[in-house]
Structure 1
Amino acid sequence: MNQRPVFLTRQQTELREEEAPELDLDRLIAIARRQWRVAGLCVALFMVFGLGYVLTAVPRYTARTSVLIDRGNRQVVEQLSTIGGVLDDEASVLSQVELLRSETIGLSAVDQLKLQDDPEFMASRRNPVLAAVSDIRAIFNVRRWLGGVSPSRLDQIEANRRQALAMLIGNMKVSRVGRSYVLEISFTATSPRLAAAVAGAIADAYLTDKLDAKYDATRRAGNWLQQRIEELRQRSLESDLAVQRFRAENGLVTANDKLVSDQQLTELNSALIAARADTARARARSERIEAIIASGETDAIVTDALDSSVISSLREKYLESSKREAEISRRLGEGHVQVTRLRQEMTEYNRLMFDELRRIARSYQSELEVAQSRERQITQGVRDATDISVTAGETQVQLRELERAAETYRNLYQTFLQRYQEALQQQSFPVTEARIISRAVPPTGPSEPRLSLVLALCLALGCGVGGAVGAFREFRDRFFRTGEQVRDLLGLEYLGSVPLVEPPPGRRPPAEPVRGEVYRKNEVSGFATEHPSSAFAETLRSARIAADVHIERPHKVIGFVSVLPGEGKSTIAMNFAQALAGSARVLLIDADLRNPGATRALGQHAEEGLLEVLLEGRAPASAILTDPDTGLRFLPAFVRRRIPHSSELLASAAMARLLAQVAAEFDYVVLDLPPLGPVVDARAVAPRVDGFIMVVEWGGTSRKAVKDTLNAEPQIAGRCLGVILNKVDAGRMKLYEGYGSSDYYASRYTHYYQENTS
C-alpha cells in the first residue's frame, strides 16, 4: 500500500494557526448561534433583577448649585497684594474640588443645618446591612460590658455629627464643568427641599471657609513677618558694622569705590607699557645706525642724519667734488692730477660723514640705556605693587563675603518690610476668589432610580455575563465537532459522521453482561445493513472508497482504532464489515483481547476464537462464525480469563501467519483493535495492517488527546485512511456548521438519506 504521511506536525499546525485570520466573523456567528440561549437567560435574569430594583427602590431627588472660581476678583486681589491669589493650573482647580469634599466643609454644612438632629436626613439612605453590623457590634462591645459606663452625651453628639457627615459626603458629588473654572455641587436626598438646602449650605460653607482661610493665612503671615523683620534688621546692622571694622583693620582704603593699591598698580602697568615701547624704539634706532655704519653705505640715512647740519654740509661738498671729478675725467682723462686730488677729497668727506654717524650712534646707544633703566625701575615698581595688591586681594575675599552678607540682609529686610505692610492691608480686604453663580432649587422630579439607565445597565451586565459564560463554555469545548477540525488539526481525511441512533426495537442488553461490558445505546450492530440509505451507511461507504483508493493490494487488512474506550469503535467495525459483506468476501476479527466488544455483540455463544487459533494452533475455519443474513465471517475472541500479554500475541508469528492465510481467502480483513490510549496492542499489530480507520466520539474525546496519541504513533498515523466522527447529535451539529463549509449545506442533501426502512 502507499504510505500517506499527511498527518501534520506540530510546527505545521502552528504555522497554519499563524496564517489564520485574527478575526473570523463566521466563527463568531457560529458561537453566537450555539450560546444564544445561555446569553439570553443571563439577560433575562438581569432584566428581572433590574425591574425588581426599579419597582422597590425609594425615589431620590438631586439638587445642584454652581460655584465659579472668579478670575476677575483674583485680579483685584493681586493689585492690592501678592498673597492669597488662586492659580490657573489644573491641579489648583482639582484641589478646590477636594476642598469641597473635605470634612471641614461637610461639618460646617452639618452644623449650619443641624443635620444630625434632622430625622428625615438621618433616616434617608440608611443601609440595612451597615445598620445590622452596627447593632451587632454594639451588642458584642466587651469594653462596654466590663466598664459598665454608658457613653457621655458629648460623645454621642460627636458620633451623630460624624454619622451625618458620612451620609452627607456619601450623597454629595462635586465635579468640574468641562475645562472651565465652574464647580458643580450636587446633593441627593429623599426630599427635594432637603436636597436643595444641603447643596446650598455646602456652597455657603465653601465661600465662608475661603474667607476664613484667607484671613487666618494673612494674620499668621503678618505675625511671622513682624518677628522676622526685627531679626533681619538686627542682622543687617551687625553685618554693616562688621564690614567697616574689617576695612579699618586691614587698611583697605578706597577712592572712587576702588582700592588705592589697585589704582597705583593700574597706573604702573600703563607706564610699564610705555617704557617698553620706548626701549623697543631706541633699540631699533641703535641697531639700524650700527648696521649702516658696518655696511659703509653712503646712501643709507637715518632721521637724525637728515637733521644734522654737519652731515648735510659734508654731503654737499662730497656731491660737488664728485661732479667736478666726473667732468675733469671726461675732459682730461682718468689719470689727471686734478682727478686724483678730487677723489682724495671725496674720500675725506665720506670719512667725516661716517664719523658724524658714529657720534649719532653713540647718542642712540645712550638713549637705549636710559630707556632700559627706566623700564627696569617701572617693572620693579609693578612687582612691588602686585605683591601689595595680591595681599589686599586675599583680604578682599573676606571683605566681599562680608559685603554680600550685608547686602543680602538689607534686601531681605526691605522685602519682608514690604510684605508685612501688604499683609496688614490684606486682613481688612474681604474679597474671595469664588462666588455662587447658580443657587440650588428644589428639583421637580426624582433623579433615582432611572428606569432607562437601570435597564440599560442590566442589559449590558446580562450580555457581559452571558457572553462570558458562553465564552467559557466554548473554551471548555475541546472536542471534535466538524470535519474541518479533523482536516485542519490532524491533517487526515474526514470520512464522515455517524449519527447517534437508538437501539432497534426488541434489542436489549444481555441479562448477564460480560465482565467489563458497558451497554451504550448507539452500539447497534447491523444498523447499516438494515438502513442502507442512511447517513450511517453512507459514511461506511466513504470509508470503503478510501480503503480501495489508498490500499493497492487486492486483499486488504483494515484496522479500526480509537483513542479511548467506549467511542463506538466496535460498532463501526461491525457495521463496516456487514456493509462490505454484501459485495465482497469479508472477515471480521475481534482483536481486542482485553475487552472484546464485537464478540459480545455477534458471538456471545462462541466457545473458541482467536486465542485458540494463536495459542493452540487450531485452524481458523473451525473458529470462524458466519452470519446467514449478510454472509459476514466473524472470528471472535472468546476470553475465559484476563490476558496479560495480549500485545505479544498480536505481534507474534502466529498472528502474522493467520493474517497472511485469511488475506489470501478474503477480500477484506477487518480488525477490531483495542484503543490506542490505554494499551499498546494496536501498535504491536500495526506492521501487518494495510490501513487504519480512526473512530472519534463526537463531543466526547478531546482534540488534544487524539493529536497527541497520533503524534506518539507515527506508524499508525502514516497509514490512517481517515477519521469517522461517531455518536453525532444531529440537532446540535447544526450549530457547528460554518458558513461555506460542507456541513453548512448538509440540509440540501439530507433527502438523499433515509434513516428508517420503507
Structure 2
Amino acid sequence: MLSPEKAIPNSDYESVGDDQEEFIDFEKLFSIARRQWMVVAVSIFVFLLLGIAYLLTAVPQFTATTSVLIDRGNSEILNQLANMGVQVDDDGAILSEVELFKSDTVGLAVVDKLNLLDNPVFMSAPPSLSSMIRSAFNVRKWFSDSSDGVVDQDVRRMKAATNVANNMDVERTGKSYALSISYTSTSPELAASIADSIANAYLLDKLNSKYDATRRASDWLQKRIDELRQKALDSDLAVQKFRSEHGLVAVSTNGSSLLLSDQQLSELNSALITAQSDTAKAQAKYDRVKAIIDSGKTDAIVNDVLDSSISNDLRKKYLEASKFESELEARVGADHIQAVKLRGEMAEYKRLMFEELNRIAESYQSELEVAQTREKSLADSVAHATGISSAANETQVQLRELERNADTYKNLYQTFLTRFQEASQQQSFPITESRIITKAQVPTRPSTPKKPLILALAIFAGAMFGGSIGAYREFRDRFFRTGEQVRDELGMEYIGHVPLMSEAELAPPPATSSGSPRDLSDVSLATRYVVNHPLSAFAETLRSAKLAVDMANPGKRCKIIGIISSLPGEGKSTVSINFAQLLAMQGSRTLLLDGDLRNPGATRAIGRHAENGIIETLLDKRPVRDSVLVDSKTKLAFVAAVVKRRMPHSSDLLSSPLMANLLEEMSGFFDYIVIDLPPLGPVVDAKAVGPMLDASLAVIEWGHTSRRVVRSTFSSHPELIQKCLGVILNKVDTAKLKLYHSYGSGEYYYSRYSAYYHES
C-alpha cells in the first residue's frame, strides 16, 4: 500500500530519477519522430505536389546581366575641374547609386527608348499558378470597376516603369565599386535589351544630372557675381568718399599707400633729427674754440684754423720768431735789444692769432644759433604734424574698416568670377564617374523557376509544416500513454495495460440455451475475455493486480477491492468483471458488486435480467442470496444494481451501516469482494465507500483521459487514493504503444513480452 504522500497526485510532483538528466532527451525526440512521421510525410507529399504543380504552370524566366563600374578616377577629375562630383568612398554612396537604378527617371527612359508600351511580351503578364493565386486573393480587385476605360498614357508609362523596376535587381559585387544589374523577362532577347538600356539610361541620367547641376550652378554664380560686383563698387566708392570728407589724402610710396599727413610727419621727424645733430655739432665746435681762447694756448688747433691761410702765416711767423729769440737769447742773453724786439713781434703775432680765433669762434657761434633756430622750428612743425596725424589716425579706424569691407567684396568677386568661368567650361565636358564594364548577353537558359531549389524548398516547407502539426499534436497530447507517465504524473504504481479489443471481441456471444435465471447473461464477449483468453496480456495484467492485492493484505481472509476511474466510459466495469472472473477462475470465492447505483454498467453487461439487487438488499432487507447471480463456468457471484427509480442519496446508502454490515456478512463467505464503483469525477459515491475498502485499483483509458483530470479527481479523494495499489491503462492500442517506448521501459520490450501472451 502506498503512502499518502506518494499516492495522492500533486500537480507539483517531481519525478524521481537521475538528478543529472540530459538537457535534450533524444529518446523522447526519437519517439516523437516515430509517432508523427506519417503527418510529416503527408505534408511533404502535399507540398511536393504543390511544388510540381508550380513548376508545371510557371513560365520560364530569363535573366540578363550587365555590370557598371563607379569609376573613382573620373570622379577625381571632376573634383579638380569644379569641386563637384559623386564620391563613392563608402557604402552609403553605393546604396545611393543602387536606388538611382531603381528610380522612375531610369525606368521611364528605358520605356521610351525601347518603346515598351507597344511591346506585347513586356506588357502582358504570363499566366502562372502564383499569379492566379495572387489574383484570387487580391481583395482590391473584387471591389474595383472592371469595365474597360481609356487609360491615360502617363499612367501606362508609370506602370511600365514600375514593371521595369520590379523585374530589375541591382547588387554590389563584393566590396568593389562594381554594380551588377540584372533584368528578368520571359523573352531572353528582351531581357538583354532592357538590361543594356538600363545601364545606358543610368549613364545618360548621370550626364544630364551633372549638366543640369553645372548649369544651375552657373546661373546662381552669375546672379551672385552681379551682386558682388555692385557691392564691390559701392564699398570702393564709400572708401574714396570717406577719404575726401575727412581729408585723408594718400600718396603711393614704393607700391604702398600712405596718408599725406603721415608722410609729412615722417619727413619732419627726419629733418628734426638732422637739425638736432647739426646743433650738437655746432655747439661742440663753438665750445672747443671758446676753450682754446680762454686757455690762451697757441698750440691748440681746430679744423678751421688749419684751413685759414692767415692763421697759418701768423703761426709760421710766430714759430720762426720764437726760434730766433731762443737762439739769440742763448748767444747774447735775454736782455739783448734784438731779443726784446723778437719778443715784441711774438706778442703781436699771438694777438693776431687769437683775433683770428675769435673771428672763427664768432662764425661758430653764428652757426650754432642758426642750427638752434632751425631745430626749434622743426620741433614746432613736428608737434603740429603730430596733432594732425593723431586726429587722422582716429578717423582712419573707420577708414580701415571700410577698406576691409571693400577688399572682402573684391576677393569674393574675384573668387566667384573664377568659379563661374570653371563652371561654364564644365558644361562642355561630357564625362561621368561611371562606365559599363560588361554588356548584357542574351541568356540561353532560364533563370527561374529553379527546379531543384523549388523542389527542395517544397520538401523543406512540407517538413516544417508537418513538423509544426506534429509538434502541436504532441503538445495537445495530454493523455496517459506509458507506465512512466503514470509514475511521473501521479506518483502511483503502474500495474499494466489492457489492449484495445477488436470489433469481434466486442460482439455479442453466441446464443446458448438459457439455464437457471440465476446465471449471468453476457451482452458482449468482452466481459468473458480473460475466461476465453487466459494467457492474454489482459489476463496477465489482472494477475499483476491480484498479486498487488495479496501482497498489500497478506493476512486478511477476505479482501474488499474497489475498482475506480476518473470519468465514465473508461472501461472500469469491463475490467471489474474480468478481474472478478480471473479471481474466480483461480479457485477463489469471489463476489462482484455493482456499486454504481446511478449508472450500473456491470449490471447492463452481465446481469440486466436481474430483478433484485443490492438496493433491494439494503433498503427492503431482503436476503442477499436472493439477489446473487452466478456464472456457471467460473462460479463468480454477482450482485447487480437494479435501478428502478432515481436515487438522489446513493452516497448515503453506500456509506450507511447497512452497506457495512452487508460487506461484513459477505466477508464470511468470499475470499474476494470486487466492487465496481462509480467514477470519481461526476459523483462522490466512491468516496463514501472508501473507508470500507481494503484496496482499490484505478482504471484510466489510454490516450483519452486527460492527465490533468486524473490528477484533479485523485487529489480530491485522498483516502481512497491512499488505498490504491496501482493504475491499469485500459483500451491500449498496442500498434501505437510501441511508438511511445523509450530505451529500458516496459513498452520497449513489449515485442519480447508478447511471446508469452496468446490472444487465441
Same-fold status (TM-score > 0.5): yes
Query: 2:581 — aligned with what?
Result: 578
613 and 205 in structure 1: CA distance in 2 versus 1, 3 angstrom threshold: same
Counterpart CA distance in 2 for 1:401 and 1:499 is 113
Counterpart CA distance in 2 for 1:401 and 1:490 is 101
Preserved CA contact (<8 Å) 1:2 1:550:
no
Equivalent residue of 1:507, what SS?
coil
Match of 2:559 among 556, 566, 572: 556
504 and 12 in structure 1: CA distance in 2 versus 1, 3 angstrom threshold: closer
Counterpart CA distance in 1 for 2:675 and 2:595 is 6
- Alpha-carbon distance, 1:676 to partner: 1.0
Give the aligned residue type for 2:24. Answer: L
Counterpart CA distance in 1 for 2:240 and 2:524 is 118
1:162 is the counterpart of 2:158: yes
Query: 2:605 — aligned with what?
Result: 601
1:132-281 aligned at under 5 Å gives the runs 140=146, 151=150, 156-228=152-224, 231=227
Counterpart CA distance in 2 for 1:237 and 1:607 is 135
1:669-688 aligned at under 5 Å gives the runs 669-688=673-692
Query: 1:500 — aligned with what?
Result: 500
Query: 2:658 — aligned with what?
Result: 654
Larger-gyration structure (1/2): 2
- Alpha-carbon distance, 1:621 to partner: 3.2
34 and 416 in structure 1: CA distance in 2 versus 1, 3 angstrom threshold: farther
Counterpart CA distance in 1 for 2:729 and 2:639 is 26
Structure 1, 223-232 or 95-104: larger mean CA deviation: 223-232
Query: 2:467 — aligned with what?
Result: 467
Preserved CA contact (<8 Å) 2:592 2:637:
yes
CA deviations over 1:67-118 (Å, ceiling 9, x no partner)? 1111222222222232123232212211111111111111100101001111
Preserved CA contact (<8 Å) 1:46 1:458:
yes
Equivalent residue of 2:5, what SS?
coil
- Alpha-carbon distance, 1:577 to partner: 1.1
1:727-742 aligned at under 5 Å gives the runs 727-742=731-746
- Alpha-carbon distance, 1:531 to partner: 1.3
1:755 is the counterpart of 2:756: no
Structure 1, 176-185 or 550-559: larger mean CA deviation: 550-559
Match of 1:541 among 499, 523, 543: 543
126 and 621 in structure 1: CA distance in 2 versus 1, 3 angstrom threshold: closer
Query: 2:262 — aligned with what?
Result: none
Equivalent residue of 2:680, what SS?
coil
- Alpha-carbon distance, 1:475 to partner: 2.3
Query: 1:337 — aligned with what?
Result: none
Give the aligned residue type for 1:663. Answer: S
With structure 2 as the length reference, what TM-score do the two structures score? 0.70
Counterpart CA distance in 2 for 1:406 and 1:741 is 103
Counterpart CA distance in 2 for 1:107 and 1:654 is 101
Preserved CA contact (<8 Å) 2:524 2:605:
no
- Alpha-carbon distance, 1:420 to partner: 4.4
Query: 1:47 — aligned with what?
Result: 48
Preserved CA contact (<8 Å) 1:124 1:189:
no
CA deviations over 1:193-238 (Å, ceiling 9, x no partner)? 1111010000000111111111112222332344345556777898
Query: 2:453 — aligned with what?
Result: 453
Counterpart CA distance in 2 for 1:242 and 1:221 is 31
Equivalent residue of 2:465, what SS?
helix
Give the aligned residue type for 1:640. Answer: K
CA deviations over 1:697-752 (Å, ceiling 9, x no partner)? 11111122112222222223322211111111111212222233221111112111
1:387-426 aligned at under 5 Å gives the runs 419-426=419-426
Match of 1:663 among 663, 667, 679: 667
- Alpha-carbon distance, 1:527 to partner: 1.1
- Alpha-carbon distance, 1:688 to partner: 2.1
Equivalent residue of 1:116, what SS?
helix
Preserved CA contact (<8 Å) 1:522 1:568:
no
Give the aligned residue type for 1:163. Answer: K
Give the aligned residue type for 2:676. Answer: D
- Alpha-carbon distance, 1:540 to partner: 0.3
Equivalent residue of 1:723, what SS?
strand
Query: 1:56 — aligned with what?
Result: 57
Counterpart CA distance in 1 for 2:242 and 2:648 is 115
1:303-342 aligned at under 5 Å gives the runs none
Match of 1:699 among 703, 709, 723: 703
Counterpart CA distance in 2 for 1:405 and 1:509 is 130
- Alpha-carbon distance, 1:410 to partner: 8.6
1:335-350 aligned at under 5 Å gives the runs none
Give the aligned residue type for 2:501. Answer: V
With structure 1 as the length reference, what TM-score do the two structures score? 0.71
Preserved CA contact (<8 Å) 1:523 1:571:
no
Counterpart CA distance in 1 for 2:35 and 2:113 is 62
Equivalent residue of 1:86, what SS?
coil
* Structure 2, gaps ≥5 residues long: 246-396, 513-520
- Alpha-carbon distance, 1:585 to partner: 2.5
* Structure 1, gaps ≥5 residues long: 145-149, 250-395, 511-518
Give the aligned residue type for 2:430. Answer: P
Preserved CA contact (<8 Å) 2:13 2:489:
no
Identity of aligned residues (%): 52
1:570-649 aligned at under 5 Å gives the runs 570-581=573-584, 582-649=586-653
CA deviations over 1:132-169 (Å, ceiling 9, x no partner)? 9899878555xx9xxxxx64xxx543333233223322
Query: 1:265 — aligned with what?
Result: none
Query: 2:321 — aligned with what?
Result: none
Counterpart CA distance in 2 for 1:232 and 1:17 is 92
RMSD: 3.8
- Alpha-carbon distance, 1:631 to partner: 2.1
583 and 131 in structure 1: CA distance in 2 versus 1, 3 angstrom threshold: closer
Counterpart CA distance in 2 for 1:493 and 1:138 is 69
Query: 1:721 — aligned with what?
Result: 725
Give the aligned residue type for 1:562. Answer: S
Give the aligned residue type for 2:579. Answer: F
Equivalent residue of 2:621, what SS?
coil
Give the aligned residue type for 1:717. Answer: I
Preserved CA contact (<8 Å) 2:172 2:180:
yes
- Alpha-carbon distance, 1:173 to partner: 1.4
Counterpart CA distance in 2 for 1:543 and 1:107 is 86
Aligned length: 591
15 and 498 in structure 1: CA distance in 2 versus 1, 3 angstrom threshold: closer
Give the aligned residue type for 1:643. Answer: M
Preserved CA contact (<8 Å) 1:587 1:669:
yes
Counterpart CA distance in 2 for 1:399 and 1:722 is 116
Preserved CA contact (<8 Å) 1:62 1:446:
yes
